[in-house]
């Protein structure tokens, strides 16, 4: 959930430069609340058209058949026959191998064009077999005598799902932590309604799916309809405009964040086939170091991100899905400000006064005054101290997650070949369970649990929100998409047919939920907006 309060910056009165004029339409689009959902929808449509067109083979080749391999292996035969200096005698080498590029290097040795394409990283096997009379190029690709054991190759889609999506889960984890500390989930009274709604939105779909797939091999997909896609759901609310109370948007966003937390628990606990306790211990050690850094109030963001790389690897090797590493890393990022608001205002005003009085001519360029440059740098430092690392990372990564990572994920996973027609594919028990779970289980579960919480006095409806609003928002919660497809990849990793049926069902159910939810909300009567003080808790910058 981005924090855009339309605060003007120093550039608001500037005449736009040519490059800024070109970028302005894209910048305006990116600021729309619905922009992330629109891009996601566009990439989904492209993937579906591509996978069912005459170019379907290229889609499958790019995302499923192309293998990228990263290896670090010991190659004792890599040393040249002699005369190339000590620098060439290193036996240990780190190589990034892209198997589809091997053929591009085949011209180095015409006798081995076809023999080394799938497994080799080079063409000079003859040099490694003892032909010392032939000159050896130390920089040429050479075949590894032993199979590398540090890493194995992955398809493009697997890299996207395992590595790129870990960054998305880092953003999700940051959002969850922020909401718990200073957002809607920080207040027990305000948090109760979205928490109960999220529980109903997870339990209802899972029960419906299980009832339709009990005793069948498709039962493993029970977690698929539990997820809600924040980008789509909030985007549709934004497109509905002022008819929708802002408090309903806050409720749905908070519900989706709690829903994501539940999905993460489901992935970590129920979709982990085996555990390697050694690597799990290594991952725990990295988390312990990160937590100790948090206790010491280490604010160097780069150090956290660097330690996130071995954390991701150890989590991957442990058997737990690698994307959980992003959430673990997010939980350790400091959320406290180094200085409070009073100190920030005082020091920044002093710097502005120095900047204003540093030169007689107010239009003098800052590059001509060292005093003004020092004042600007002081303001930058103050801003870094008053904004917690958690907020700074989220601000930087959120656009990348919304406009790069999630669209790429949709492009790689939403390309579903439809054989025999949509109706034929949706007869699969998994597909029926997903559609019923998302379209019926989600809104009913959210509505009933919210009603239960209000009847008990644990929670209350936000001002301006009716029960019809809650049911409409619950219907929008049936837009599973991103997280639902992600869980489907885990649940049916060994069944291509069930996976295709599940993905198609997710798209169909999400479309039904989106249209139905929008129609219900449009039929609601507009009510007064809540007072500003009821929109959220006060922020304490010193909280960690």
The pLDDT tens digits for 209-224 are 999 999 899 999 999 9
Cα–Cα distance for residue pair 324/131, rounded to 1 Å? 50
Please classify residue 490 by burial: count the beta carbons closer than 10 Å to its beta carbon, then call 0-12 exposed, 13-18 middle and 19+ buried: buried
pLDDT band at residue 120 using 50, 70 and 90 as cut-offs:
very low
Question: Residues near 20 by Cβ (< 8 Å), separated by ≥ 6?
Answer: none
Integer Cα distance of 275 and 230 in angstroms: 31
State yes or no: pLDDT of 52 exceeds 50. yes
Contact in structure between 272 and 320 (CB atoms under 8 Å): yes
- pLDDT, residue 354, reads 86
What pLDDT score was predicted for residue 2? 47
CA–CA separation, 449 and 321 (whole Å): 30
What tokens were used for 92?
């240990």
CA distance 535 to 529: 10
When the candidates are 3.40.50.300, 3.40.140.10, 3.40.50.800, 1.20.1530.10, the CATH number that belongs to 160-336+390-532 is: 1.20.1530.10
Domain residue spans of the chain: 98-153, 160-336+390-532, 341-386
Residues 252, 277: contact at Cβ < 8 Å?
A: no
- pLDDT (tens digit per residue) in 435-460: 999 999 999 999 999 999 999 989 88
Q: Where are the beta strands (DSSP E) in 75-215?
A: 92-98, 154-155
Residue 295: predicted pLDDT = 92
d(CA 540, CA 537): 9
Q: Which of 12-26, 150-164, 403-417, 495-509 has the lowest mean pLDDT?
A: 12-26
pLDDT band at 131 (very low <50, low <70, confident <90, very high): very low
3-state secondary structure of 91: coil
Find the mean pLDDT for residues 335-352. 90
Nearest-angstrom CA–CA distance, 84 and 82: 6
User: Residue 251 corresponds to which tokens in the numbers above?
Assistant: 């409720």
Please report the pLDDT score of residue 180 as a whole number.
Answer: 85
Lowest pLDDT segment from 323-337, 365-379, 477-491: 365-379
Enter the tokens of residue 356: 């204003």
Better-predicted residue by pLDDT, 116 or 143: 143
Element (H, E) at 246: helix 246-270
> Where does the pLDDT of residue 238 fall: very low under 50, low under 70, confident under 90, or very high at 90 and above?
confident
231/252 Cα distance (integer angstroms):
11
Mean pLDDT estimate for the chain: 78
Q: End-to-end CA distance of the chain, in Å? A: 20
């Amino acid at each position: 959930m981005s924090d855009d309060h339309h605060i003007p910056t120093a550039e608001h009165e500037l005449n736009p430069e040519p490059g800024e004029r070109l970028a302005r339409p894209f910048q305006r689009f990116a600021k729309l609340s619905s922009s992330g959902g629109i891009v996601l929808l566009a990439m989904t449509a492209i993937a579906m058209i591509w996978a069912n067109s005459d170019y379907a083979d290229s889609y499958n080749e790019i995302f499923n058949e192309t293998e990228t391999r990263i290896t670090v292996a010991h190659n004792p035969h890599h040393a040249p026959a002699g005369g190339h200096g000590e620098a060439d005698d290193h036996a240990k080498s780190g190589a990034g191998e892209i198997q589809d590029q091997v053929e591009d290097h085949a011209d180095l040795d015409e006798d081995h064009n076809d023999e080394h394409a799938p497994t080799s990283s080079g063409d000079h096997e003859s040099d490694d077999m003892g032909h010392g009379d032939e000159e050896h190029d130390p920089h040429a690709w050479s075949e590894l005598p032993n199979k590398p054991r540090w890493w194995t190759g992955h398809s493009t889609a697997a890299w996207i799902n395992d590595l790129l999506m870990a960054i998305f889960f880092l953003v999700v984890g940051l959002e969850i932590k922020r909401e718990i500390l200073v957002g809607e989930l920080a207040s027990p009274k305000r948090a109760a309604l979205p928490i109960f709604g999220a529980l109903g939105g997870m339990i209802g779909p899972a029960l419906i799916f299980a009832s339709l797939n009990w005793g069948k091999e498709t039962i493993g997909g029970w977690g698929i309809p539990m997820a809600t896609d924040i980008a789509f759901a909030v985007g549709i609310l934004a497109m509905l405009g002022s008819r929708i109370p802002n408090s309903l948007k806050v409720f749905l966003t908070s519900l989706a964040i709690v829903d994501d937390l539940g999905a993460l628990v489901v992935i970590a606990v129920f979709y982990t086939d085996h555990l390697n306790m050694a690597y799990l211990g290594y991952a725990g050690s990295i988390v312990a170091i990160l937590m100790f850094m948090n206790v010491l109030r280490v604010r160097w963001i780069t150090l956290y991100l660097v330690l996130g790389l071995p954390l991701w690897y150890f989590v991957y090797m442990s058997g737990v899905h690698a994307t959980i590493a992003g959430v673990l890393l997010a939980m350790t990022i400091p959320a406290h400000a180094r200085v409070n608001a009073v100190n920030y205002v005082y020091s920044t005003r002093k710097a502005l006064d120095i900047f204003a009085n540093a030169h007689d001519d107010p239009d003098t360029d800052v590059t001509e005054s060292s005093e003004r440059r020092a004042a600007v740098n002081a303001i930058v430092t103050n801003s870094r101290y008053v904004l917690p690392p958690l907020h700074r990372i989220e601000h930087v990564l959120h656009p990348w997650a919304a406009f790069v990572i999630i669209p790429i994920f949709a492009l790689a996973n939403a390309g579903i070949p439809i054989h025999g027609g949509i109706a034929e594919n949706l007869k699969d028990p998994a597909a029926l369970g997903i559609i019923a779970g998302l379209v019926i289980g989600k809104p009913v579960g959210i509505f009933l649990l919210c009603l239960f919480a209000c009847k008990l006095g644990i929670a209350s409806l936000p001002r301006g929100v009716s029960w019809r609003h809650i049911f409409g928002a619950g219907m929008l919660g049936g837009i599973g998409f991103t997280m639902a497809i992600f869980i489907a990849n885990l649940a049916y990793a060994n069944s291509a047919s069930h996976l295709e049926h599940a993905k198609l069902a997710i798209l169909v159910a999400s479309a039904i939920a989106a249209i139905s939810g929008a129609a219900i909300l449009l039929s609601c009567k507009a009510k007064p907006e809540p007072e500003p003080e009821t929109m959220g808790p006060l922020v304490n910058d010193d909280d960690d």
